[in-house]
Amino acid sequence: MRTIIVVGSLNMDMVFRIPGVPRRGETVMGDGFFMNPGGKGANQAVACARQGADVRMVGSVGGDVFGETLIAGLAAARVDATHVRRIEGQSTGTALIMVTGADNRIVVAAGANAMTASAQIDAALTDAHPGDVYLTQMEIPYDAMKHGLLAAKAKGLFTILNPAPAGDLDGELLSHVDLVVPNETEAETITGLSASEPHFAALAIARLLAAGVGEAIVTLGAAGCAHGDHSGIRFAPSCPVDVVDTTAAGDTFVGAIAVAVASGMKVKDALTRANAAAAITISRRGAQCSIPDKDEIEAFMGRGTDGAR
């Protein structure tokens, strides 16, 4: 299996379970609270490692106890954290997650994530090889994120962009992305299309391909996901489970896709496995603590799941 280099955020998640989102001036009593290591980058790195991949994490934490905890969590998951920088005087990134029923709303304070720099990424890519996988998101500075994608592509790595949180993406960046994986809301933002349009996922994928990406997946929640490349578009249904908490489901999905690519599998052949991994995650609470390992995914799939159609 090829190495997976994950460049992105590391956050400490503070999760509140609440009966409803408070209105202006209103105080709502929560049903529970817990803290759990998170951040899209770290979540995806852990998801890859738990499926047996050789994973290298690149990012930044503050010189505080949260930073220590996040690095320890990566080590426990067998993620190489050599290129995670501790910045004294900065706070570690944090996320406030409000869970209402099966839904969640997230507010992020970037903290040290905003200090992640191109030089860190270059150092992590020094001994990378063609065919390795480069995975990144948008919770670090745009310039560093773009620099990393271009540098990784120049070295022959397979580049994956999870454009979350969604924002403007320039044409040069998109032309260096082998696979882009937005959810429905993110796909709306980056394509300008409305999810209410008939055949939205197919139209969004077509627009992304036209913009220069090699292939695209749009995740659709309970409706599964859509994948497209220049050979066509296909859909894979979700795996029914009792939904507890959707936090990190998308990160688990993306991690499963990255591991498949690192193993030599085509993206379109990995959709069912990625949906299964995400389904396990949403049946549990929390971020990294909810991410399944390889054996759990295989056992879940052994019960029977629908394939791509």
Domain ranges of the chain: 3-9+39-90+112-302
**How much of the chain is in helix, strand and coil states, percent to nearest 5?**
40, 25, 35
From the candidate CATH numbers 2.40.30.20, 3.65.10.10, 2.40.128.20, 3.40.1190.20, the one assigned to the domain spanning 3-9+39-90+112-302: 3.40.1190.20
Assigned token pair, 214: 């090699």
DSSP conformation class of 92: P
Is the previous residue joined to 22 through a cis bond, with omega within 30 degrees of 0? Answer: no
251 is an active site residue: yes
- The phi-psi region of residue 192 (left if phi > 0; otherwise alpha if psi is between -120 and 50; otherwise beta) is left
Of the residues 251, 293, 295, 306, which is catalytic?
251
**Position 67: which residue type?**
G
Indicate the length of the chain as a whole number.
309
Give the β-pairing of 93-100 and 103-109: antiparallel
Tokens of 164: 């979350």
Q: How many CA atoms lie within 13 A of 194 on its CB side?
A: 3
Angstrom distance (rounded) from CA 49 to CA 71: 14
8 Å CB contact between 229 and 308: no
- Residue 133's alpha-carbon distances to 38, 86, 117, 216, 228, in angstroms, are 21, 25, 20, 16, 19
The tens-digit pLDDT sequence of the chain (309 residues) is 899 999 999 999 998 989 988 899 999 998 889 899 999 999 999 999 999 999 999 999 999 999 999 999 999 999 999 999 999 999 999 999 888 876 778 888 999 999 999 999 999 999 999 999 999 999 999 999 999 999 999 999 999 999 999 999 999 999 999 999 999 999 999 999 999 999 999 999 999 999 999 999 999 999 999 999 999 999 999 999 998 888 889 999 999 999 999 999 999 999 999 999 999 999 998 889 899 999 999 999 987 644 443
- Rounded to whole angstroms, how far apart are CA atoms 12 and 5? 21
Cα 110 from chain centroid (whole Å)? 16
User: Within 10 Å of residue 118's Cβ, how many Cβ atoms?
Assistant: 16
